[in-house]
Structure 1
Amino acid sequence: MNLFHIQSTLQGINWTTSFLENNFIGIAWAGIGDLEREPPEEWKQQLIQRYGIGEAELTQVLETLHTFVYIMQDGDYVLVDDDEWTYVGDLGDYFYDDSNGTRAETICHRRGVTWLGRIPLMELNDKVRALRSHHSIIAKFEHPISQAQLDPWLSVTRMKTDKEGSHFAVRVDEGTMKEALEVLKEALHSEDADLRVRAAAAILQYAKS
């Protein structure tokens, strides 16, 4: 499993709300066709003809397209941001959607996302902050995903939508979670075998959630 960060402001439009509400992420350069059906050489020709992209920018754009279609995989994690939060999602497959047209400001190249939770920006560790600050439209986390330290947040947060459609996270107080885990750890050393088994099962369930 890999972790990616994707910029959500494309062609001057901030897509974060749309990504969250409609459960997808996407990249620009609409109108060059379904990237899974066209060879990379055709991508190049379409980018030049439709957008007039020069050689200096072309290599970077082609790399972004390749990453989005072929490097990202179903089951990888992705991060998008707003001014206060980083949102964590589980990626689905690539698909091409030109139902809203192929104007430059539309998003045709998409991947479905199941949003798992959100993390305050101030709580991100240095490695994830470095990922977020990368200049690329899509940046890959170059460490084991465990070093992103996302799991403690995802296990106690789930994306919800209120009646007005706003996204928020339901979260158990972190201090309470730590206290509960300490209790379970102490129970692992109990003389009661049944209690030890239940404590171990609870910790394993927490780790998987």
Structure 2
Amino acid sequence: MSRLQLFVMLADVDGINRSKTFLEDHFVCLYGPGLGKLEPFDEEACKVRLMEAYHLEGTALTERIAELRLFVEIAADGDYVLLVDDDKVHVGDLGEYYYVLNADNKEDGSCHRRGVTWLKSLPHSMLAPELQSLIAKVIAEGLFLARHEQPVTAWQMELWLSGAAGSSEQSESFFDIDHKTIREAVDILRLAMQAEDVERRERAAAAILQYASRSRFS
């Protein structure tokens, strides 16, 4: 099963919450007017532009270059992005980097963009602990963009976004099914974990982990 990168971004760009625009127009951006198109990414050229346009130096310059590289070069088509919007999180599938010339000004500044196919939105409290910790780190360290240390799979994301850490009401509705049926379903999944097909085994394991996570909140 293919593994993808997972990024976290804040909806506030240069002090303005742009979540409405991002969701309606299907993109995310970095604020960076005056730098011109950044693809292909050239670190030395980017460094010169940042020094000229923003008078950055030292650590601030290094961190800004790293952020731009992450957004333009390291992020790839098909990767996941979590857009943090106050107490909500919007989950999307990233597209390619593109540059918008008429947005390259201080008033707008959204010239460096990536298309996004939005998949779902959910309250921050419903995210798995791993994702909550990643978001907390981004906010605590004053970052705008960060990448999860390890690549993820589609089933792993499905598990993390399943609402296992959700409300007690959701947990109660999950257990409306009688326990005998649940036990039989789990037994079937255990057998599926012995299948030769790797993807089938992973899906069965994800389903069992999802059940176990929800059981803790029953």
TM-score clears 0.5:
yes
Amino acid aligned to 1:142: E
Structure 1 residues without counterparts, runs of 5 or longer: 157-172, 190-199
Contact in 2 for aligned 1:29/1:47 (Cα 8 Å): no
Name 1:64's counterpart in structure 2: 67
Q: CA deviation at 1:71?
A: 1.1
SS of 2:103 mapped into structure 1: coil
Amino acid aligned to 1:69: V
Cα distance 1:93–1:15, how it changes in 2: closer, same or farther (>3 A)? same
| Cα distance in 2 for residues equivalent to 1:124 and 1:85 | 10
- Identity of matched residues, %: 33
| Cα distance in 2 for residues equivalent to 1:37 and 1:144 | 23
Higher strand share: 1
| Cα distance in 1 for residues equivalent to 2:184 and 2:89 | 30
Name 2:146's counterpart in structure 1: 139
Amino acid aligned to 2:185: K
Name 2:54's counterpart in structure 1: 51
Equivalent residues in 2 for 1:96-107, closer than 5 Å? 96-103=99-106, 105-107=108-110
Name 1:121's counterpart in structure 2: 124
The answer to whether 1:91 aligns with 2:100 is no
| Cα distance in 1 for residues equivalent to 2:150 and 2:41 | 32
Name 1:26's counterpart in structure 2: 29
Name 2:42's counterpart in structure 1: 39
The answer to whether 1:185 aligns with 2:188 is no
Higher helix share: 2
| Cα distance in 2 for residues equivalent to 1:48 and 1:104 | 20
* Runs of 4+ off more than 3 Å: 146-150, 152-156, 173-184, 186-189
Cα distance 1:21–1:174, how it changes in 2: closer, same or farther (>3 A)? farther
Contact in 1 for aligned 2:41/2:69 (Cα 8 Å): no
Q: Deviations over 1:71-116 (max 9, x none)?
A: 1111110001222211100000001112234226421110000000
Structure 2 residues without counterparts, runs of 5 or longer: 164-169, 190-199, 208-218
